[in-house]
Homo-oligomer: A and B are copies of this chain.
Amino acid sequence: MSYAAFQTEIARINDVLCTINLLGWDQRTMMPAGGIDGRAHQIATLTGIARDMATDPQLAELMDRAEADLPADATLERRAVAQARAEIATLSRIPSRVISEMAELKTRANAAWVAARAANDFATYAPVLERMMGLQREIAAAIGDGGHPYDAMVGMYEPGMTWDRLQSIYGQLKDALVPLIARAKDGPRPRADILTRRYPIPAQKDFGLGMARRMGYDMERGRLDDTVHPFEISFTRGDVRITSRFREDWLPGGLFALWHEAGHGMYEQGIAPEHTRGVFATDLVNLYAVGGASFGMHESQSRLWENRVGRSRRFWALHFGALRDTFPDQLSDVTEDEFWAAVNAVNPSLIRVEADELTYDMHIILRSEIEAGLVAGDIDVADLPGLWAEKMRAYLGVAVPDDTRGVLQDVHWSHGYLGSFPTYTIGNIVSSQLFAVAQADAGVAAGLDTGDYAPLHGWLGENVWRHGRASSRDETLERVTGGPLDPAAYIADLTAKVEALGA
């Protein structure tokens, strides 16, 4: 009875958070320009309501009573209460003053970032970034447990992850990636021209969405729209929407972004129905309706479909014919091998969001090191441009010509997101760990060999998706792979790809 009352209240909070997701989705896809002021108020008000509901003493009482009433063997229910309690405790520790100062600062910081980026002038952005870091340090102090301040920030997105553990993983990655990148650079250059021909967008979308549905993305519970920055968002498992960005003269952009977002989407669509509107479909720290266990776990599913499946040699052996049927003129002089090599070309470059699979993580490592230093107070904001250039030279061998293509390229810090970058690399690592085990399943392997993705979809649903937030990233890895987070499988995948590319 008391547990049911607890569930009802969590369900109401989830309703509000799903609604905030809709306000955001609409803002990015449908809203006319004139709606922006009203929308900012609506999101702020709903977020305040959700926070008040989550931190209401009556909910705390409900949790106490539920915990007292639940039988000892009601493991999942006990976990739900404990998890909600822990997340709400973190949420509550962030002082209201910091939240409202952050809300006010975000608007100004974002405007300052846009202006500084356009003017290629880091110095005008530095003071507001300095203030943002001050607030981030306050948050870290409020919710941290005495470890490195970056632990608290990363932990908001990736529960339990520490800077110590990240550094060890990054060390392994750097040791492997730096020589691999050098080797790939000396290898054969794939034909780049074939991807920049004129590919009409409706046909790209038909092909891409047809493939996403074949992978298992359910359009009865989804939809696809166009946005500048592709994303996935859900309003319960019954309504999980994705966006992509198609460009006529850059074929892989729209396709791989679509499959990436479809990977996120299948995760949310695959949460068990009984978790709907429950604790295991609600992130009470970030006040976000989501069923994924962590940001990194979520990213592992998008990367798995985008890279492990979509960029594989096997995938294009099966589907290049259909793509050439879609674009017969554009691809008449292209072989399956050339196409596969082109979408896997390694090009160390300045911009993270344009990076290839092999160099991508170096961009993340660089940002994580800087973020950890900033929040700990070991790095001064003023030193960022120089530090950025130094690390880009060391990690990728490229020279940073200006701040716009350097330290000013990402929106994250101006929005107050500090600590989310590492989840991209965690996602890459997990994608390879899970995919290695999935492939060992004969049915999954046979499906991948024939273009039948139902077995892989089913395997991921059973082993990962259905649990929602009822199984943490580490628990899932332990259960599925028998071990902890480990970059070995990912490094092996990247090494094999570089070898296959002939380097």
Contacts from A to B (Cβ < 8 Å) = 11-12, 15-16, 18-19, 22-23, 26, 30-39, 41-42, 44-46, 48-49, 218-223, 235-236, 238-239, 241, 276-277
Contacts and interface: CB of A to CB of B under 8 A. Distances in A.
A16 B33 contact: no
A32 B223 contact: yes
A45 B220 contact: no
10 contacts: A16-B46, A22-B42, A26-B26, A30-B30, A32-B221, A32-B241, A36-B238, A38-B238, A38-B277, A41-B277
Contacts of A23: 19, 22
B219 A38 contact: no
A219 B32 contact: yes
B30 A42 contact: no
A235 B39 contact: yes
B238 A30 contact: no
B277 A32 contact: no
Contacts of A38: 15, 18, 235-236, 238-239, 276-277
A239 B16 contact: no
A350 to B, nearest CB: 36
A239 B31 contact: yes
Contact of A238 (B22, B37, B223, B236): B37
Stoichiometry, as copies per complex, reads 2
Contacts of A37: 236, 238
Given A16-B46, A38-B238, 5 more contacts: A15-B38, A32-B219, A33-B220, A34-B238, A38-B276
A330 to B, nearest CB: 27
Nearest to A12: B45
Nearest to A235: B38
Contacts of A276: 38
A15 B46 contact: yes
B16 A45 contact: yes
Contacts of A34: 218, 220-222, 238-239
Contact of A42 (B18, B41, B48, B241): B18
A49 B17 CA distance: 13
Contacts of A35: 221, 235-236, 238-239
Contacts of A219: 32
Contact of A223 (B30, B42, B48): B30
Contacts of A31: 239
A30 B16 CA distance: 19
Contacts of A44: 15
A26 B16 CA distance: 15
- Nearest first, the 7 closest Cβ-Cβ pairs linking A and B are A35-B239, A34-B221, A38-B236, A15-B45, A34-B238, A15-B42, A12-B45
Contacts of A277: 38, 41
A165 to B, nearest CB: 36
Among A42, A219, A235, A241, chain B packs the most CB atoms within 10 A around the CB of: A42
B32 A222 contact: yes
A36 B220 CA distance: 11
A220 B32 CA distance: 6
A254 to B, nearest CB: 21
A222 B30 CA distance: 10
A41 B238 contact: no
Contact of A41 (B15, B32, B41, B220): B15
A48 to B, nearest CB: 8
